[in-house]
Structure 1
């Protein structure tokens, strides 16, 4: 049985507490509900609404969150509620299964958590004062729950729209970059996410609601003492050889993109290195849009993507975002004909020389007009690619400075023999785990939107080794700005299903770097660090060397190349 407990101003008065300044005593109510869900568990839902809108029915703006212990005692009284409750929207905030006031076990985005979200949406849509439409919104984990419910397709009855902000669309990609375990970063070291799932199994997954007299408090205390899959979470979430198995498939909402049936407004920051920016970009690409001319629904009615230069959950606080969100919710929840479905569909803020550029509206992503610019990795010994170049100091582990050339490589160029011929000892070569390659200066400003791809031939000295390229914008004075980063566990070069180590042999390894929207100024060069280890951003692989081919391998291939997603292509000066 579902039970409703009324709370709010009457309780606050009885306890001698001051009512929130934004509350209207005669019309607003604050309610706590408990919703039945999987395994007999109950999800706690708090609802704040203005009852003067009940007669005309109200839509619901829902956030399904594991973080509500941080917003005690009334989590639904937030800035979103302050904005939308006076406009006739009910504001609902629910505790994720196994957290705070909800009973059961935290499921790390798994099937039980997904079903519990579906149950909450259906419950809210069926309340007497509701108009039957629920939009899910939130940042980070709070937006991930919106995505997971939409991925359940038509079984999520009552779901009318989702607004995932800096949200995960595939849990594997949150923990791993193509098999490489992410760990901290050099921009905001505490904001990467290495604590997940650990912090939830021993932290948020152990929280209880602050009101011990509330319903089901004893049940939540009992459930928090359970193991709740923590061992499996740890084994899967912190592995050095993380196969993409059934555990991760259950937590992959992107694979179910064809099941989405509601309008989607994705928001993300290009500089988000917690929930990586590809989580939104790749979900957007995967979502099919329904053809209204057919009798059946093949996808979502429409989709929008709003990309800023913000970091994690940043960039969605300005007037432009507020106006876009208000139009989206008015259209999807109240049926207002405001043309939002024809906006965008991609709104992106770029960056040039470290300074944000104006927002651009694009017809799609990848951006129409994007052309691949291919640059070949070549050694610098031929001398015809780097005339007059001011080289930056060689840092430990960078190795020989080579070229990014528009010309394909000629002849065999085994890097080992090339370095030996140049007088580099085998001991020194073994110590060099990275290579630094530079292009000629760009002839004009060049915009890169999307992911660069390093298609390399490599020879790792042992199993469990990495390839972690970094693409940089190099100014004429040699100073550098990072454009994109990439990560690949070489043993997973053929796919994530299982590791296939082949140490000591040449093998092709393709790394898709994390996407960006960056304009490189004219006169600047494109630089590429080809690293076998990135100890700042990831848990390192095994020690050893990864040789990277700067030319043909066994006369079968032209060697390693970098493919850039450039708008209209790129041209370079002749030095």
Structure 2
């Protein structure tokens, strides 16, 4: 029997209400936060002394020691024991130095108990972050310490070995304890942040360039981005004896005979005889693979680093920017120094917030803050929205003949055909060639600006184009950009590369009976000087057109040679004088393949490309016909330990 319309309508409405009550999902209940998260930061709540400490060996897909067994990477781990911590992310420092050389300003090594249990980790990362709900992993490169395989210095073995650890942490790989029992990383979220200075940071760059899943962020400090550029500059050799074959042996933890064939192959393949770029170096160049990077990147570098030079961070940074990688950068006035030793409290706080954001998903706002932080003068830091400075462009600066003692830098092109000669003097040292620029010195040519009428910001990579005629089939060309003017400067070429180690200590994190969190304090090392070299660059003229295929010069013929100087960032105050110093071979920093040439430079067809910003002072190089008189009696110069003819060791 049909229902009356009114009753049918009431029943339909009631059914709709009832259906809504039945199918509506319950209100979402937020998952309880672990004890180490308070608000938007992690806090130290877990017992560091009682933390789980263990070692595992991760199996790789490689066998470069040729023993028929896959190479294994040793990983020493420390993590909270408390169940309330839940699954935790991992901070990782992969290094070749944990047993041979040590880490940090105090050269700390890993230490082990009699049963092989790791009892001490170098640096503060474990002490500080484990109580805050992180695990810390100290990874030994292949061929070092307790890992098998052989070190190949930036190559496939090194990168794939560390990548295998990240795969294992994300359930994609195999590992075992010392007794062979399988080890599974069920205690981690799989999120990994790599950090490290020098070689440690270099492998972080390389692993990020594989695009491995699970690597959420990297913090490369004074890190290499292309190993060719660590050992050579535009075909100019930095060393012949201390190349990657030597470095592989320096950190080797295997019996000598096991890895000697690998080192022999490295020596052959790196091609010291020509200084050319080839497949060996292409494998160790991470810059082209910046397009694969999925991790965020926090770059830290000294703009006066004479070991891992500023070109490494600059070319890596530019590639990351081109690929829109989330990033942040700190640039200091020091040399090859960890920020823990030049800006300790601010560094620990910033790093803490960085890892909390990327590894713990805490919305602390760090990515809304200025991208760039730069040390303008000793302990004077400024924040800026980007790097290089916004609005930077290349200002072409002409080279002029001047008054016969020093040439000029100005904006008016010199008349074509005006030439100067430089006769190579391989004995010249930087102290001599930079000092007293108005005094003629055989073997150099100096070009000076007028005193700057207002501040000048240089930000980025300076380029130079020289039109030259040479009386030999090959020669090296060297250039330095100099700041002439009295100032208190960071003594980056002193024994501490800009810092002094004090007798007092400060502590960051928790300690255990075998691993304390206290480190020697440091202070800025400064010097009053009348001039300082800002940036340098070299080129082997036979490599002028190609790094891979050198071609000799025909004596008497004119050639255009273009090359870059190291990246830099500086604000030169009004009244300073900008100088360009040209020399031929540089035996202090490089190992020239040819010396003794006479080089003519056509000033009218030579240029300096200066990266300046649109800030006041962008065109502050006043035109002048005669260079100003500059007396330099106290010049910041390199100490003997900075000479490039010594072995190159990227130790932090």
Q: TM-score, normalised by structure 1?
A: 0.78
User: What residue in structure 2 maps to residue 295 of structure 1?
Assistant: none
Match of 1:559 among 605, 623, 626: 605
User: Which range moved further: 508-517 or 228-237?
Assistant: 228-237
User: What residue in structure 2 maps to residue 84 of structure 1?
Assistant: 129
| 2:568 is equivalent to residue 526 of structure 1 | no
Deviation at residue 549 of structure 1 after TM alignment: 2.4
Is this contact kept in 2: 1:66–1:142, CA < 8 A?
yes
User: Which range moved further: 70-79 or 341-350?
Assistant: 70-79
User: What residue in structure 2 maps to residue 364 of structure 1?
Assistant: 386
Match of 1:571 among 591, 612, 620: 620
User: What residue in structure 1 maps to residue 144 of structure 2?
Assistant: 99
Task: Output the aligned Cα RMSD.
Answer: 2.6
* Structure 2 counterparts to residues 293-308 of structure 1, below 5 A: 300=325, 302-308=326-332
* Structure 2 counterparts to residues 483-494 of structure 1, below 5 A: 483-494=534-545
The aligned length equals 479
- Residues 505-529 of structure 1, C-alpha deviations (whole Å, 9 max, x = no match): 2111112111112222222211111
Match of 2:374 among 307, 329, 348: 348
Q: TM-score, normalised by structure 2?
A: 0.69
User: Which range moved further: 314-323 or 334-343?
Assistant: 314-323
Distance 2:83 2:136 in 1: 13
User: What residue in structure 2 maps to residue 201 of structure 1?
Assistant: 248
| Gapped regions of structure 1 (runs ≥ 5) | 1-21, 184-192, 208-219, 290-297, 384-399, 418-430, 552-557
Larger Rg: 2
| 2:230 is equivalent to residue 160 of structure 1 | no
User: What residue in structure 1 maps to residue 456 of structure 2?
Assistant: 446
Is this contact kept in 2: 1:269–1:308, CA < 8 A?
yes
- Residues 213-233 of structure 1, C-alpha deviations (whole Å, 9 max, x = no match): xxxxxxx54x86232421232
Is this contact kept in 1: 2:409–2:621, CA < 8 A?
no
Match of 1:513 among 551, 565, 569: 565
Q: 1:366 to 1:288 in 2, by over 3 A?
A: closer
Distance 1:128 1:547 in 2: 66
Match of 2:532 among 474, 477, 481: 481
* Structure 2 counterparts to residues 185-334 of structure 1, below 5 A: 195-205=242-252, 207=253, 220-221=254-255, 225-237=258-270, 239-288=272-321, 300=325, 302-317=326-341, 318-334=344-360
* Structure 2 counterparts to residues 163-182 of structure 1, below 5 A: 163-182=219-238
User: What residue in structure 2 maps to residue 502 of structure 1?
Assistant: 553
Deviation at residue 371 of structure 1 after TM alignment: 3.3
Is this contact kept in 2: 1:376–1:560, CA < 8 A?
yes
Q: 1:283 to 1:572 in 2, by over 3 A?
A: closer
Deviation at residue 24 of structure 1 after TM alignment: 4.5
User: Which range moved further: 105-114 or 536-545?
Assistant: 536-545
Q: 1:288 to 1:46 in 2, by over 3 A?
A: same
Deviation at residue 124 of structure 1 after TM alignment: 2.4
User: Which range moved further: 314-323 or 82-91?
Assistant: 314-323
User: Which range moved further: 460-469 or 141-150?
Assistant: 460-469
Q: 1:42 to 1:405 in 2, by over 3 A?
A: same
| 2:460 is equivalent to residue 460 of structure 1 | no
- Counterpart of 1:241 in 2: which secondary structure? coil
Deviation at residue 83 of structure 1 after TM alignment: 0.6
- Counterpart of 1:320 in 2: which secondary structure? helix
- Residues 474-530 of structure 1, C-alpha deviations (whole Å, 9 max, x = no match): 238994221111111111111312112213121111121111122222222111111
- Residues 318-360 of structure 1, C-alpha deviations (whole Å, 9 max, x = no match): 2222222111100111100112222332222224xxxx36322
Q: Which has the higher contact order (CA 8 A, sep 6+)?
A: 2
| 2:407 is equivalent to residue 402 of structure 1 | yes
Distance 2:271 2:372 in 1: 35
| 2:57 is equivalent to residue 34 of structure 1 | yes
Is this contact kept in 2: 1:285–1:365, CA < 8 A?
no
Is this contact kept in 2: 1:472–1:482, CA < 8 A?
yes
- Counterpart of 2:281 in 1: which secondary structure? helix
Distance 2:83 2:471 in 1: 68
Distance 1:243 1:411 in 2: 33
Is this contact kept in 2: 1:269–1:310, CA < 8 A?
yes
- Counterpart of 1:527 in 2: which secondary structure? strand
| Gapped regions of structure 2 (runs ≥ 5) | 1-45, 64-69, 103-108, 112-117, 172-184, 423-440, 488-528, 629-652
Q: 1:194 to 1:264 in 2, by over 3 A?
A: farther
User: What residue in structure 2 maps to residue 413 of structure 1?
Assistant: 418
